[in-house]
Structure 1
């Protein structure tokens, strides 16, 4: 039996994939505790989970910040300050829990710094494959800038003698995708592709009786893009209004949509994985979890990335042949409708999605991740 401490940032998409891994570890006789934002973890984890509260301050990012400006804001104003703020709480959790190994989300760098200080083995949880694909390879100046930030962080709070990238454990990197989607890893780290970690749908009231036999289009731009996504969602509704032979579920967390047709069901929150089980096509912002959850069901996509890792994930979808890409800021109803028609009418997209689904099944998911962690601990 090994005690594991899972160190996570206050981001839903970085916690959900690990929750199934944690359940698998417990099922296999191990003990698991979490270090992170207590309110968010209480909302996302099963009742009775062991949680060590950690201060996780995150500034609000302007909705209109995109491209390199968004990347710069993420590193300078979120990830680096978050690492410094979380470190005391993570060290306290280690002292109390006495784990045999750490599992550290790629954006919870305090976990790596704590591993340096305590000498504990640690695995990286890469809930998105964008870093593994090394998106900065074509931008050496930006890559050097990020490396400089990480080096300064390590010299101040971690092991000055370490020579590895803080984003990648030299022991184990769990990648919640497969090479069929992400391509081969472009980093020098021991990457284990385990595929997506299936999770139960969030219990949410949903009018299932409103759905019928028509092909279902699922539309979501994520909960963090409520403001910036309003225009895109409106364009989706306009496109779907002209397609009564389809049915749609549109996630509108900001409540921006009104006067929608009867065959378009708009909800602030949905049991996403259950809805995806019935979907014929997904229109989304290319968030890694949504993309993988769709492809895990062999559902092709229309992707309109907004910022951060989303352009990288969108390129992976297109390169794999499992969907088409739109320009988020410029897509209008005509382009959105044409993309939906294209994906639904061309069987090659579903064939590619099916190929990726099969690769996910072979990868092993949460069980494969737990087995790899057992070798670490």
Structure 2
């Protein structure tokens, strides 16, 4: 291995949300352990996490992501679908994009002044979009004659508009037949000129505000991936719909590996009930169902409470519910069934090795954790990207798709029974775990990050 001074300086940045920052932090941590130098641009919210992995922290105070009250009211009044999805993206990701672009530009100028002869490579999650404007003619930061190489990390499913798939969020399966491609072409046109048009217009407007001299064309979803010299999907090809027109710079790295659990982690008082269900010999008689809605959705009526009710009183089943936030509790007066245990927070990679099924609202992080722990899943969810995540998991064969945001206890009970009764879910989950482990996501990204050819801005 060469000395650190011979390696490029890696400037990492990510959108300030857990689902965006955590996977990018994991990649940065691995690269630091492998001898790379990382400077990480983020808000003070992530300062301690960044310093703890050995990265240099560069401060950028962006507004906390979220909807203002008026936008939140409008969003809640909109029917679930492409229009609502586009509205959410506008107000979460595009509203403050100019600030993120300027912050990255300032960071690049600072690093260039400090280390004038060193190559810099930018690594960011694709929804941060801070390098996108340079593709459309934004002047380069001071001290640069060419744009540094850029690497995108996708914390979301593949949202590219393709000839082989219907538009994202329509909930339609892929179809690469002649008639299917005609369908896809027509639907993409309708979506781009209809419910997605406000986002297309805002995208173009924001690029102008960022100093771009070229007006973007096509789909803003495609631009998320096309803005980088290389863009990595954090999954294996088996977990995505196959498309024949996938750009060559979009690569599958595989799901990120399980995170190590600190030996000093304090588990709930009832934790031995989980570990004791996994005897070293003989079949296990107690099934473990783990349910969580992640860290964003806190309406426990949607999934956690119906799951507890669905499986209440089953002597052969232990239900573990994690509420996702330190200090969170279920509503006062809710009776936790005798065969259930509830915690404010349990790390996915601590509980999932013991779980027989994972009930989740289909966040992309939960999707990856299920795969890397080889656990069959039951996915709900209709908002954000969740229905498309659930469809891909169902298509890949390791998950049961409830196809609703608010399943009833009966629907959840039927789904759990279906997964327990059909061993194909378990077998497929373990196949996908092996497949993604063998891809070695962190190693693949490390191997390719320095050898990425520059393709943006016509430099390749």
- Deviation of 1:127 after TM superposition, in Å, equals 1.5
> Quick one: structure 1 residues 286 and 188, their matched pair in 2 at CA, closer, same or farther if it must change by over 3 Å?
same
Q: What residue number does 1:376 align with? A: 452
Is 1:192 the equivalent of 2:234? no
Q: Deviations over 1:215-272 (max 9, x none)?
A: 2111011111102x43422111101204221112111244225321232111111122
Higher alpha-carbon deviation: 355-364 or 108-117: 108-117
Q: What residue number does 2:330 align with? A: 256
Out of 349, 355, 365, which is 1:279 matched to?
Answer: 355
Contact 1:150 1:166 in 2 (8 A): no
Give me the whole-angstrom Cα distance separating, in 2, the residues matched to 1:97 and 1:285: 41
Q: What residue number does 1:142 align with? A: 191
Q: What residue number does 1:156 align with? A: 209
Give me the whole-angstrom Cα distance separating, in 1, the residues matched to 2:229 and 2:101: 21
Q: What residue number does 2:154 align with? A: 126
Contact 1:230 1:256 in 2 (8 A): no
Give me the whole-angstrom Cα distance separating, in 1, the residues matched to 2:430 and 2:84: 33
- Deviation of 1:52 after TM superposition, in Å, equals 1.4
Given the two structures, how large is their TM-score scaled by the length of structure 2? 0.75
Consecutive unaligned residues in structure 1, runs of 5 or more: none
- Deviation of 1:298 after TM superposition, in Å, equals 1.4
Q: What residue number does 1:350 align with? A: 426
- Deviation of 1:363 after TM superposition, in Å, equals 1.7
Given the two structures, how large is their TM-score scaled by the length of structure 1? 0.90
Higher alpha-carbon deviation: 107-116 or 275-284: 107-116
- Deviation of 1:323 after TM superposition, in Å, equals 1.3
> Quick one: structure 1 residues 267 and 205, their matched pair in 2 at CA, closer, same or farther if it must change by over 3 Å?
same
Q: Secondary structure at the match of 1:109?
A: coil
Q: What residue number does 1:32 align with? A: 38
Return structure 1 stretches of 4+ with deviation > 6 angstroms: none
Contact 1:71 1:308 in 2 (8 A): yes
Out of 277, 297, 313, which is 2:373 matched to?
Answer: 297
Q: What residue number does 1:59 align with? A: 66
Contact 1:36 1:52 in 2 (8 A): yes
Give me the whole-angstrom Cα distance separating, in 1, the residues matched to 2:302 and 2:18: 24
RMSD of equivalent CA atoms: 2.6
- The structure number with the bigger radius of gyration is 2
Q: Secondary structure at the match of 2:303?
A: helix
Q: What residue number does 1:218 align with? A: 290
> Quick one: structure 1 residues 298 and 366, their matched pair in 2 at CA, closer, same or farther if it must change by over 3 Å?
same
